[in-house]
Amino acid sequence: ASANIGVVGLAVMGANLARNLASREGNTVAIYNRSPERTNNLAAAHPEAGFVTTETMQEFADSLQRPRTAIIMVQAGKATDAVIDQLCEVFEPGDIIVDGGNALFDDTIRRERAVRERGLHFVGAGISGGEEGALNGPSIMPGGPAESYETLGPILESIAARAPEDGTPCVTHVGTDGAGHFVKMVHNGIEYADMQLIGEAYDLLRRVGGLEPAQIADMFAEWNRGDLESYLIEITAEVLRHVDPETNAPFVDIIVDRAGMKGTGTWTVQTALSLAVPVSGIGEAVFARGVSGRTAQREAVRPTITSRPEMPVVDESFVEDVRLALYASKVIAYAQGFDLILSGAEEYGWDINPGAVAKIWRAGCIIRARFLNRIADAYGRDPQLQSLIADPYFAGEVAASDAAWRRVVATAAYAGVPAPAFGASLSYYDSLASDRLPAALIQGQRDFFGAHTYGRVDKPGAFHTDWSGDRTERRTDA
Ligand code: NBP
């Protein structure tokens, strides 16, 4: 046995991850793929990697030092289950199976239990950063037993991206069983929100602010030097600056305005709904992609609108207002995402350190951003923080954006330019900030039609009013 790590599944992600592993000092990488052509092609294309090629699962297992460690990078779903079964046949107690695919955390919880019962370790690891991340350094979110991290940790640290601020590898043991894939799912949900908010900012600058895509690209490039500095802002400037070579039109005008999705945003919202965690910014981002795809409805409704609202007149200060609205809404998206992570941790019994999660997102992944340092600092100051916006720094940042944020949401409404994520984020903020919510009235309605009872502000207990009779009140829990 000559390899210290193996990779199963050598499509684009697996091949790049295997090359990344092989390029690090001290690693010898065994590779296996269901169809052997991929294995042989990869080894032939990269002789410098010194891959140990294998054609059967038994050969693969025999080529690995103990405890054997294998990373699976196959299509999420049935293929993953099939490969886990095959590995369990040839691996021995103490060996470690890592699933680096985009698995749903429920599946990871199930698989971890099944593999553990066979005496092996199973680690579901979220890997972010796409093909390029896999090759040059992804952000890695491993779950699974803490014990397996002793073997796996140094290997993953060797290939992970490194935070620009302090060079620490973007990987940490997130928590047990499905914790890693849960955090990866929320990462993707936040990514949806981030992208939608940037999209709304662009739309407002263009349709209300009257700016051209190239001018907006300049704005984004400038914003990328401040609080908003992030990969997504950076690539937004690139996309907006690009001119279609065929038509000479701004590239953004050539793209069909229908956003695709592969499901992780939907998983995030479904999970949040089942845990009753309000992730309204992420939810609006997923719904906005849905609206964009309702082509027939859009075509049916558009001609029925006979009066378009008058476009409000804005001055140069509008650009800064939009920047502040984007920043405040982005803080809310992260506040909601971290709320979901911590609620998931409570529900599933994971000991997740939110500051450590913020730190491993600083490089290698799509939502990498300067302000993740601020999030790590906030949880460092108070690990029990109830909400990111309860932290003094973020509370101050949001308060400083408050007036601009309201002007932008109001302007969008006047102009008839949709800004669902901006609006939902502001409403969420106002809900948390309100002394009293109309939930009191809802409890009254619920008691009226369903005798669901209500609490009183002036004394403990549950109460019901006899709505159909003399409206006397009685305590129902004593
Ligand atoms: P794909 O998701 O396209 O899967 C192709 C691989 O799965 C091939 O190696 C294929 O083997 C193997 N496979 C299939 Br399909 N069915 C199999 C089975 N029953 N038994 C064994 N192997 C089977 O590859 P990918 O795009 O490289 O992604 C790999 C994983 O990484 C996925 O879970 C994906 O969600 C995740 N991921 C992807 C990205 C990204 O940017 N693409 C980012 C982050 C995570 P074959 O060659 O024999 O057909």
Residues 335-391 have pLDDT tens digits of 999 999 999 999 999 999 999 999 999 999 999 999 999 999 999 999 999 999 999
309: cis peptide before it, omega within 30°? no
Mean per-residue pLDDT for 280-287? 98
User: Band of the pLDDT at 79, cuts 50, 70, 90?
Assistant: very high
pLDDT for res 199:
98
Answer whether residue 454 shows pLDDT above 90: yes
Residues with Cβ < 8 Å from 94, sequence gap 6 or more? 66, 67, 119, 120, 121
Q: Which two tokens stand for residue 476?
A: 């129902």
CA atoms within 13 A on the CB side of 279: 37
**CA–centroid distance, residue 76 to ligand 1 (Å):** 7
Does the beta carbon of 33 sit less than 6 angstroms from any atom of ligand 1? yes
d(CA 68, CA 62): 9
Residue closest by Cα to atom 16 of ligand 1: 79
Contact 351, 174 (CB under 8 A): no
Counting ligand 1 atoms within 8 A of each CB, the residue from 17, 32, 55, 75 with the most, and so the one to mutate, is 75
Residue type, 317: S
Mean per-residue pLDDT for 178-191? 98
Answer whether residue 277 shows pLDDT above 90: yes
Mean per-residue pLDDT for 470-475? 98
Residues with Cβ < 8 Å from 387, sequence gap 6 or more? 335, 339, 432
pLDDT for res 115:
98
DSSP structural state of residue 3: B
The helix (H) or strand (E) run that includes residue 189 is helix 179-207
pLDDT for res 430:
98
**CA–centroid distance, residue 139 to ligand 1 (Å):** 18
Residue 400: closest CA among 323, 459, 306: 323
Go through 147-172 and write b for each residue having 16 or more CB atoms within 10 A of its CB, e for each that does not: ebbebbbebbbbbbbebeeeebbbbb
Contact 259, 203 (CB under 8 A): no
Phi, psi of 391, rounded to the nearest 5 degrees: -70, 135
Answer whether residue 200 shows pLDDT above 90: yes
Residue closest by Cα to atom 1 of ligand 1: 75
Q: Which two tokens stand for residue 351?
A: 């000991």
Q: Which two tokens stand for residue 70?
A: 């294998």
Angle between helices 78-90 and 105-117 (to 10 degrees): 20
Which range among 90-99, 310-319, 407-416 shows the weakest confidence by mean pLDDT? 310-319
Mean per-residue pLDDT for 116-139? 97
Query: Ligand 1: which atom is nearest the Cα of residue 11?
Result: 27
d(CA 442, CA 413): 27
User: Band of the pLDDT at 434, cuts 50, 70, 90?
Assistant: very high
User: Band of the pLDDT at 307, cuts 50, 70, 90?
Assistant: confident
pLDDT for res 268:
98
Query: Ligand 1: which atom is nearest the Cα of residue 101?
Result: 33
Does the beta carbon of 74 sit less than 6 angstroms from any atom of ligand 1? yes
Query: Ligand 1: which atom is nearest the Cα of residue 130?
Result: 41
Residue 100: closest CA among 124, 136, 133: 124
Residue for token pair 């700016």: 211
CA angle 268, 270, 272 (to 5 degrees): 65
Residues with Cβ < 8 Å from 38, sequence gap 6 or more? 10, 11, 15
Residues with Cβ < 8 Å from 146, sequence gap 6 or more? 173, 176
**Which residue among the candidates 112, 184, 200, 359 is catalytic per the annotation?**
184
Does the beta carbon of 81 sit less than 6 angstroms from any atom of ligand 1? no
Percent of the chain residues past pLDDT 90, beyond the cut: 98
Does the beta carbon of 85 sit less than 6 angstroms from any atom of ligand 1? no
Query: Ligand 1: which atom is nearest the Cα of residue 34?
Result: 48
Counting ligand 1 atoms within 8 A of each CB, the residue from 19, 73, 262 with the most, and so the one to mutate, is 73
3-state DSSP assignment of residue 134: helix
Q: Which residues pair with 125 in a beta bridge?
A: 142
Residue closest by Cα to atom 33 of ligand 1: 101
Mean per-residue pLDDT for 404-427? 97
Q: What is the pairing mode between strands 29-32 and 52-53?
A: parallel
3-state DSSP assignment of residue 122: strand
Does the beta carbon of 82 sit less than 6 angstroms from any atom of ligand 1? yes
Does the beta carbon of 188 sit less than 6 angstroms from any atom of ligand 1? no
User: Band of the pLDDT at 311, cuts 50, 70, 90?
Assistant: confident
Mean per-residue pLDDT for 238-262? 98
Counting ligand 1 atoms within 8 A of each CB, the residue from 7, 10, 13, 102 with the most, and so the one to mutate, is 13
pLDDT for res 306:
83
Strand order in the sheet with 139-142: 52-53, 29-32, 5-8, 69-72, 96-99, 121-128, 139-142
Concerning whether 184 is annotated as a catalytic residue, the answer is yes
d(CA 206, CA 45): 46
Residue closest by Cα to atom 27 of ligand 1: 13
d(CA 374, CA 355): 9
d(CA 453, CA 448): 9
3-state DSSP assignment of residue 28: coil
d(CA 49, CA 26): 12
Mean per-residue pLDDT for 1-8? 94
